[in-house]
Amino acid sequence: MPSARAWREYPRRYRYEAAVCKKCGKWFFPARLICDACKSTEFETKAMRRTGTILTHTVIRVPAPAFADQAPIAMAVVAMDDGPRLTAQVVDYQAAQLAIGQKVKLEFRKISDEGAAGVINYGYKVVPV
């Protein structure tokens, strides 16, 4: 991810900020401009709880070249306890732990870097609890 984009996303990535519709209360992560439930354009920013449940998962055995050193990469769609869903890499897991319904928590981890002397990008990954 280019460093300019990373800087713009720091509040969301570092504080796990979601947009909550002021009209119907639906949570969105990442934030949206229009609520898909009630079409409202008014949102407030709230920090999410850092726990959720795996809805579905997959294992990528042949990743893109930039992530070849992390193979195999487990990815999951997670329903956060506050309501939003997100897709994240699953780390620090045993093969038997990767299951639908598994409780997970968000953790702040290194995502990538831009070369040996470049910017290190951080973000969220999920860990089974």
What are the residue boundaries of the structural domains of the chain, listed by start?
Answer: 3-128
CATH match of 3-128 with 2.40.50.840: yes
Whether residue 30 has a cis bond before it, omega within 30° of 0 = yes
End-to-end CA distance of the chain: 29
Which segment of 6-10, 16-20, 117-121 scores lowest on mean pLDDT? 6-10
pLDDT of residue 5: 65
Q: Check whether 1 has a pLDDT greater than 60.
A: no
Q: Check whether 38 has a pLDDT greater than 70.
A: yes
pLDDT digits (tens, 9 = 90+) for 99-116: 999 999 999 888 877 777
The DSSP code sequence of 22-33 is: TTT--EESS--S
Q: Check whether 22 has a pLDDT greater than 60.
A: yes
Which amino acid makes up residue 18? A
Q: Check whether 98 has a pLDDT greater than 60.
A: yes
Q: Is the pTM of this model over 0.75?
A: yes
Q: Check whether 61 has a pLDDT greater than 60.
A: yes
d(CA 98, CA 88): 13
